[in-house]
Structure 1
């Protein structure tokens, strides 16, 4: 599943990023923000207009706006959280 398909509020780990689909400068900016393989993310919001851009992605204590085309380049794996009882 790609990041743009992740249900809102579901924690996930970025499994892979298809950097070849992104412009080099955009890819560099995303890496600088920590959006790379292994990062833990959560989708907080989807835009309401035509393309449903932007997406708000939580990574660590940051929330960043991300275009859907960038989120489609990222494959994520939902993280199953277990409560310690």
Structure 2
């Protein structure tokens, strides 16, 4: 599943980054790495942006960006 499918409060472990090279590099620079835990903190009313927590800091990502992050859900 991709990160955009997680609901507010759900967490997942990053399995793969399937984004264009420039976006992939940007996500890696922000700490979204394979194996990292990522939790959805909030979603804007229209679904864009999505606020997530990764490595103990909050990050707001566009819907297009979170669709390229493949995660496995963790309870």
Q: Indicate the TM-score class for this superposition, using the shorter chain for normalisation.
A: 0.7 to 0.9
TM-score (norm 2): 0.88
Query: Aligned pair 1:35/2:32, yes or no?
Result: yes
Q: Does residue 6 of structure 2 align to residue 6 of structure 1?
A: yes
Q: Give the alignment's TM-score, normalised by structure 1.
A: 0.79
Which structure shows the bigger proportion of residues in strand conformation? Answer: 2
Runs of 4+ residues deviating >6 angstroms: none
Gaps of 5+ in 2: none
* Alignment coverage as a number of residue pairs: 75
Pick the structure with greater CA Rg. 1
Alignment RMSD, CA only?
1.4
